[in-house]
Amino acid sequence: MTKNFIKPLTGASAVSEAMRQIDPDVVAAYPITPQTEIVMKFSQFVNDGKVNTEFVPVESEHSAMSACVGASAAGARAMTATASAGLALMWEILYVAASNRLPIVMPVVNRALSAPINIHCDHSDTMGARDSGWIQIYCESAQEAYDNVIAAVRIAEHEKILLPVMVCQDGFITSHAMERVDILEDEKVKKFAGELKLPFPLLDTDNPVTYGPLDLFDYYFEHKRQQSEAISHVFEVTDSIYKEFEKISGRKYNRVETYKIKDAETAIVALNSTIGTAKDVVDALREKGEKVGLLFPRMFRPFPAEEIAEKLSGLSAVAVLDRSETFSGTGGPMLADIKSALYEKESRPTILKYIYGLGGREINPAQIEQVFSDLKEVKKGKKVEQVVYLGVRE
Amino acid sequence: MKLNIKEFPKIPERLGSGHRLCSGCGAPIVAKMVLMGTKDPVVVTNATGCLEVATTIFPYTAWKTPFIHSAFENSASTAAGVEAAYQSLKRQGKIKREIKILAIGGDGGTYDIGLQALSGALERGHDFVYLCYDNGAYMNTGVQRSGSTPRGSSTTTSPAGEAVPGKQQFPKDLTAICAAHKIPYVAQGAISNWKDLITKASKAFAVKGPAVLNVLSPCPPGWKHADDLAVEISDIAVNSKIWPLYEIENGQWRITYKPRDKKIRPVEDWIKMQGRFRHLTKKENHHIIEEIQQWADENWDRLERMEKATSSEGGSE
Amino acid sequence: MSEKGWKELEIGGRITEAGNAAKYKTGDWRTFLPDVDREKCINCLQCYLYCPDMAIEAKADGTLGKIDLDYCKGCGICSNICPVKCIEMKKEEK
Ligand SMILES: Cc1ncc(C[n+]2csc(CCOP(=O)(O)OP(=O)(O)O)c2C)c(N)n1
Ligand code: SF4
Ligand code: SF4
Ligand code: SF4
Ligand SMILES: [Mg+2]
């Protein structure tokens, strides 16, 4: 397996392939639908001797993240993967990982949170973790998930960043659907990922370091300010790493992806697999001469507000599709960020608010078409104030 | 194993001065004695609690050995991660030297909130030592009851009140729970018996795989005793059999110290030294002292039965 | 230690100076002071072993060294456990 090759893979197996090639020093993980395939495939790689990884089959996701914290602080490249309740159980330690500046990479397969318990896709799990200090990258397809897990290692470990990264894909829709995935040569990935060199590893016992002290009102704020500083470098670092990745893969990634938005009058903003569904609708509407487009904030944390505002400000109406609720009474989480991004702009599009797809509720081309037709009405002057729950039964 | 106190100053000091644990706290004595059990470099993980908080107040650390605190319930899983990193990097030839890993937690971080992470780490067989310094309550947050708090003890969440005279339950048997994982080494120790404790620590560090040490850790403000009593109170706990010294080595139970004759004390002597039990001296509560005595005696009998049942023909030392 | 700004601090709250708590003097917590009668001392080093504040030195030759009053909190443990009772806790004049 040393050549580039195209292979039919699910989103979950594509990610486990990426993990095999990265060959992290430590993987600590716990199974949860729909992430399970990642852990199972990776365990097979471990037991077939395909990786050097020390695999820690922990007793919970809380311990998965805790072990990653220990391993990363010790000086190892550490990874885990999770979904939904698993991410929720990690919550406390997500903050510990980010605040201790540990470059852990974690593929997340998006799934709804309980209750009622539901195994299907929505984004309430990672949206809830959006302010934990982790970088968040969202992926439309298995290929994107594979590529971005590899790129994420470099972003996380960059000396100016040293922050953990989540790479998100949609549960079942992406994680369990077969797709043709272009897998890079093992050596290429190995070389791209490079040797890990973390500052102050615990295992350098000649230079003892203390991690995680009690930090009171006299220093805590300074340490938070440092985290904000690291976040401010994420865009420049990501851009350069995406460029480097393009050289080895021929595939180009942007923090903000757009589709036919240049001359568009209206557009939809959405994440992950919904973008794929919407592309076909855009193509069909464009055939009919309608000026429609799409915007996909691939990087959601940090939020590329300026760039998004730049791209949307000239439009006449924009629909923001959130696959999770905030229960703020004002719409979904992405909506709030998009709105505030546009606040500084003199010309601003009218914004329509949608919540859709909760608990895996299907989003189909007809619904996307409906959104574009709503946008058309708004462009003509119709007023819509309320949040629209797309696809829910009254 | 022969211990010579004169050799101890040659072992690098891992926990130094300038920490802010209370005057007369047992926890640093426990930690320093356990760390005397190895000459190899040690990486320490520590759960949230008095020992962690008071030794690492930014920008100061009293630790002279690599140290990490992550959260309250995950000292064992953090250590599991450190150990996995060590195994991986060693296998890849990136680390050569022998390094030991010590996970520390208070009784709250061990008996209660961290029990699952500890159980998981023991079952998976990581090569590390887990130390519980057991002061029988959540001291750092102001003396709340834990799964280790003795029956009858007054804490801020099991106060001695008009209707309920302190904590109603007996403590859970953490040492036996750990032994039930069938790991190579589990032991209970006390600072009063330093040779016994440091010998146990050396064994714990020496075995391949997980080892657990549960060590009594007096707390002057929590137990309400004078600052100079940590050692004496441990000694009476041991001689009253409320805190027996024993080990389980590869499944063999062995009581490592058996108080005899004049040494044996009633648990009442131990109880009377501590303000947390003061209400038990009232007549109407005296039955609780008797129950504690009975509990201690039964526990001791069970230990002796276990010792007999698991002893090999070859006999122990 | 003057309080550093965020640009000067090591990231992630790491403390890279091992044992620098030694700069924090806990000796002023003390109201009683251990006073050793060196004549009576048998150099058993128990006090060194038991001091919770690592304030009692043991010399390389195995004899008792100084008691560092910068850190001694005056708990009296050393005095209590000394087998020949040669440490007396005395009220400290401040
Ligand atoms: C998840 C979580 N719950 C509660 C706390 C608050 N807390 C911090 S330390 C502590 C008690 C520690 O007790 P123990 O482990 O016995 O250590 P001790 O302080 O007695 O040495 C508690 C309740 C916390 N830090 N994290
Ligand atoms: S409260 Fe108890 S355990 Fe905590 S520092 Fe004080 S004496 Fe030690
Ligand atoms: S305990 Fe007493 S006899 Fe022993 S060294 Fe200390 S002062 Fe000397
Ligand atoms: S009084 Fe306490 S702190 Fe001071 S030297 Fe003796 S044991 Fe150490
Ligand atoms: Mg406690």
Peptide bond into A24 cis (omega under 30): no
CB-closest option in C4, C24, C62 to B18: C24
Q: What is the ipTM of this complex?
A: 0.97
- pLDDT of the residue at A2: 55
pLDDT band at B2; cut points 50, 70, 90? confident
Rounded mean pLDDT, A174-199? 97
CATH entry 3.40.640.10 includes domain C38-94: no
Q: Does ligand 4 lie within 6 Å of residue C74's CB atom?
A: yes
DSSP letter at B281? G
Q: What is the mean pLDDT of residues A157-174?
A: 98
Report whether A63 contacts B124 (CB < 8 A): no
User: Average pLDDT over chain B, rounded to whole?
Assistant: 97
Subunits next to A (3 or more Cβ pairs <8 Å) are B, C
Asked if A66's CB is within 8 angstroms of B85's CB, the reply is no
Encode pLDDT of C42-76 as tens digits.
Answer: 999 999 999 999 999 999 999 999 999 999 999 99
Whether residue B316 is predicted with pLDDT greater than 50 in this model: the reply is no
The verdict on A162 touching C (C-beta cutoff 8 Å) is yes
Q: List helix spans (H) across A36-83.
A: 36-47, 61-74
Q: What is the per-residue pLDDT for B312?
A: 80
Q: What is the mean pLDDT of residues B154-167?
A: 97
Longest dimension (CA), chain C: 55
Nearest protein Cα to ligand 3, atom 6: C47
pLDDT at A341: 98
Taking Cα atoms as reference points, which of B29, B81, B67, B89 lies closest to residue B217? B29
Using DSSP bridges, classify how beta strands C32-36 and C87-91 pair: parallel, antiparallel or unpaired.
Answer: antiparallel
pLDDT exceeds cutoff 70 at B1: no
Amino acid B317: pLDDT:
45
A156 touches chain B (CB under 8 A): no
Distance from CA of B114 to the nearest CA of C (A): 24
Residues whose CB falls within 8 Å of the CB of residue A28, separated by 6 or more in sequence, listed in order: A55, A56, A57, A58, A63, A64, A65, A67, A68, A71, A78, A80, B80, B81, B84
How far, in Å, from the CA of A387 to the mean position of ligand 5?
50
B15 touches chain C (CB under 8 A): yes
d(CA A122, CA A127): 10
**% of chain A residues with pLDDT over 70:** 99
Q: Where are the domains of chain C?
A: 38-94
Q: Which band of pLDDT confidence, cut at 50, 70 and 90, is reported for residue C94?
A: confident
What ligand is nearest to the CA atom of residue B114? 1
pTM: 0.98
pLDDT of A13 over the 50 cut: yes
Question: What domains, with CATH codes, occur in chain B?
Answer: 18-310 (3.40.50.970)
The mean pLDDT value of chain A amounts to: 97
Show which residues on chain C lie within 8 Å of chain B, measured between beta carbons.
1, 4, 9, 13, 15, 17-26, 29-30, 44-46, 48-50, 52-55, 58-60, 62, 68, 70-71, 73-77, 79-81, 89
CA separation for the pair B179, B272 (Å, rounded): 31
- Across residues B123-152, what is the average pLDDT? 98
Of B16, B24, B64, the CB nearest to C77: B24
Tell me, in angstroms, the distance from the centre of ligand 2 to residue B87's CA.
35
Number of B/C CB contacts below 8 angstroms equals 123
Q: pLDDT digits over A109-164, tens only?
A: 999 999 999 999 999 999 999 999 999 999 999 999 999 999 999 999 999 999 99
Contact with chain C for residue A204, Cβ under 8 A: no
Chain C residues whose CB is inside 8 A of the A162 CB are 11-12
Q: Confidence class of residue B313 from pLDDT cuts 50, 70 and 90?
A: low
The pLDDT mean for chain C works out to 96
